[in-house]
């Protein structure tokens, strides 16, 4: 059974990279009929974690349609009691030791190591303190944390579905902190405990977590807990080939939503970042994506975030909707459009959908239908145009087109002299849907009125 989880830290908004991690976890769990996809809020970093971000993350995930199975999702900050039980087990078995090193000492040690070109790691200073030394320090109130006592010559080795064998030879990892001096667990410890308790079968997360995995498997091995499978996905890069992180200016999902992108467009786009199906599938269809998701087809190289490609999917997603549905969406978006029928609006929708593939964008470019644009252009043929259009017998797009051409000729106007001011007066815009369609939808009376 596939059990995955998305475990964001609520230290910022959901971005492209995080959303893709969530999507992949969702897809894989849903590929399995009995699979489970869980949400866990990794808020062990109390200084940087904010409730406000948690609320936003949840909103974004729901909007993307990535629903999780644990209605009461897990919040690590509320589970100290559980983590401390496991801390006790580790203490009893003598798998951990208290470390009294000051920040000062650790800093100097790290600087030394960097200077000597050795990988920074804890030097084991407190590993062999005697019971008496420990008691003495505790009695005098020296602050301490708990470190995992890595077995001598422990080599962390695991297989990653994307990156292959990962080996951290003995001596490259130091005894790491699992419990802080402020009596809270570290992320590494809390997550290992939770992944175990949640029975996570596959951990899909960014490949910047590979060093954490080496530490987490050390914990699992020591506790004799089963290892999940690891699928570390490559970081998404910005167009300048920099890491696209929360702190490096990546655009939040919220912003794409506000710009009018559809969730299915974003999902399809995210699905193309490092992954592809082995056959042609409809990425706009979440079920199709779930059925065909296969982590072994995730590639190692980092994808580059490309808004043009996202736009491609947005157009596809919009064209996937019927013009009628879009017309109704526009009316829903701005109730002033209610005075038009969806049947009429959809005539214009079909004309502008590829230039403005957004509901909000379309409402904006059709705003002239509900709000007269400011316009101080005067034309000599105004009155005549107003009268003649009012007297048109046939009112359909073709007849209007014929009429416009006839009117232009009859008044000895050149194309630009006529159509350009006509468009500006009617719509306040330089470009847009063809004029006969616009005039048809606006209606005889209103158009005549404007030119009166």
The contact set with ligand GLU (CB under 6 A) reads 7-9, 42, 191, 205, 209
Toward ligand GLU, which CB reaches closer, 50 or 367?
50
CB of 112 to ligand GLU, least distance (A): 30
Tokens 């009117």 locate to 407
Nearer to ligand GLU, 22 or 404 (CB): 22
Of 189 and 275, nearer to ligand GLU (C-beta) is: 189
State in angstroms the smallest separation of the CB of 231 from ligand GLU.
11
The 3-state DSSP class for residue 239 equals coil
Calpha distance 315→267 (Å, rounded): 13
Provide the residue count of the chain: 452
Instruction: Identify the residue whose tokens are 């500006």.
Output: 424
- Alpha carbons within 13 A on the beta-carbon side of 216: 23
CB of 25 to ligand GLU, least distance (A): 9
Q: How far is the CB of 198 from ligand GLU (least distance, A)?
A: 11
Phi, psi of 319 (to 5 degrees): -70, -15
Shorter beta-carbon distance to ligand GLU: residue 15 or 305: 15
Place of tokens 């470390």: 99
Cβ distance to ligand GLU smaller for residue 20 or 205: 205
Q: Between residues 50 and 125, which has the closer beta carbon with respect to ligand GLU?
A: 50
State phi, psi for 134 to the nearest 5 degrees.
Answer: -65, -50
How far is C-alpha 117 from the chain's CA centre?
A: 38
**Least separation, in Å, of the C-beta of 194 and ligand GLU?**
9
Distances (CA, A) of 296 to 157, 274, 304, 355: 19, 11, 20, 37
Q: Is 245 helix (H, G, I), strand (E, B) or coil?
A: coil
Q: DSSP strand E in 102-155: where? A: 145-148
Q: DSSP class of residue 246?
A: T
- CB atoms closer than 10 angstroms to residue 290: 16
Query: Which CB atom, from 46 or from 398, has the smaller least distance to ligand GLU?
Result: 46
Tell me how far, at minimum, the Cβ of 55 lies from ligand GLU, in Å: 16
Task: Extract the tokens encoding 90.
Answer: 């580790």
Closer residue to ligand GLU (CB): 302 or 319: 302
Q: How far is the CB of 42 from ligand GLU (least distance, A)?
A: 3
Q: For ligand GLU, which is the closer residue by CB, 209 or 227?
A: 209
What are the backbone angles phi and psi of residue 311, rounded to the nearest 5°? -65, -40
190 burial type by CB count under 10 A (0-12 exposed, 13-18 middle, 19+ buried): buried
* The two structure tokens encoding residue 438: 């616009």
For the chain, the first-to-last Cα distance in angstroms comes to 72
* Whether 37 contacts 5, CB under 8 Å: yes
The nearest distance, CB 76 to ligand GLU, in angstroms, is 9
Host H or E run for residue 166: strand 164-168
> C-beta of 276: minimal distance to ligand GLU in Å?
23
């Amino acid at each position: 059974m596939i059990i995955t989880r998305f475990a964001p830290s609520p230290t910022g908004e959901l971005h492209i990279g995080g959303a893709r991690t969530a999507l992949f976890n969702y897809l894989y769990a849903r590929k399995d009929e009995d699979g489970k996809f869980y949400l866990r809020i990794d808020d062990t970093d109390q200084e940087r974690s904010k409730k406000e971000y948690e609320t936003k993350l949840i909103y974004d995930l729901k909007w993307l349609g990535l629903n999780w199975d644990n209605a009461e999702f897990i919040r690590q900050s509320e589970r100290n009691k559980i983590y401390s039980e496991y801390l006790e087990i580790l203490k009893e078995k003598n798998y951990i030791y208290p470390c009294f090193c000051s920040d000062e000492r650790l800093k100097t040690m790290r600087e030394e190591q960097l200077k000597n070109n050795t990988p920074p790691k804890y030097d084991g200073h407190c590993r062999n303190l005697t019971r008496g030394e420990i008691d003495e320090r505790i009695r005098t109130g020296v602050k301490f944390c708990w470190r995992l006592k890595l077995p001598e010559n422990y080599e962390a080795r695991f297989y990653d579905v994307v990156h292959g064998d990962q080996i951290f030879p003995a001596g490259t990892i130091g005894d790491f902190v699992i419990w802080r001096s402020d009596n809270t667990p570290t992320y590494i410890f809390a997550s290992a405990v939770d992944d175990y308790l949640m029975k996570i079968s596959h951990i899909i997360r960014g490949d910047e977590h590979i060093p954490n995995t080496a530490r987490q498997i050390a914990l699992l091995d020591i506790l004799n807990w089963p290892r999940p499978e690891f699928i570390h996905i490559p970081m998404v890069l910005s167009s300048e080939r920099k890491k696209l992180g929360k702190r490096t200016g990546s655009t939040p999902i919220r912003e794409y939503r506000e710009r009018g992108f559809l969730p299915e467009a974003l999902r399809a786009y995210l699905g193309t970042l490092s992954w592809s199906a082995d056959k042609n599938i409809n990425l706009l269809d979440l079920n199709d994506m779930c059925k065909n998701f296969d982590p072994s087809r995730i590639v190692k190289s980092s994808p580059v975030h490309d808004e043009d490609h996202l736009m491609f999917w947005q157009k596809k997603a919009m064209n996937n909707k019927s013009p009628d549905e879009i017309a109704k969406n526009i009316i829903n978006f701005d109730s002033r459009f209610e005075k038009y029928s969806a049947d009429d609006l959809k005539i214009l929708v079909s004309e502008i959908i590829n230039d403005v593939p957004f509901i909000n964008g379309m409402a904006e470019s059709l705003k002239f239908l509900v709000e007269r644009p400011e316009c101080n252009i005067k034309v000599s043929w105004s009155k005549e145009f107003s009268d003649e259009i009012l007297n048109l017998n046939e009112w359909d797009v073709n007849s209007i087109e014929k009429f416009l051409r006839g009117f232009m000729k009859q008044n000895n106007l050149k194309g630009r002299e006529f159509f350009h001011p006509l468009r500006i007066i009617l719509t306040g815009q330089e470009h847009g849907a063809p004029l006969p369609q616009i005039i048809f939808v606006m209606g005889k009376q209103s158009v005549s009125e404007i030119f009166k």
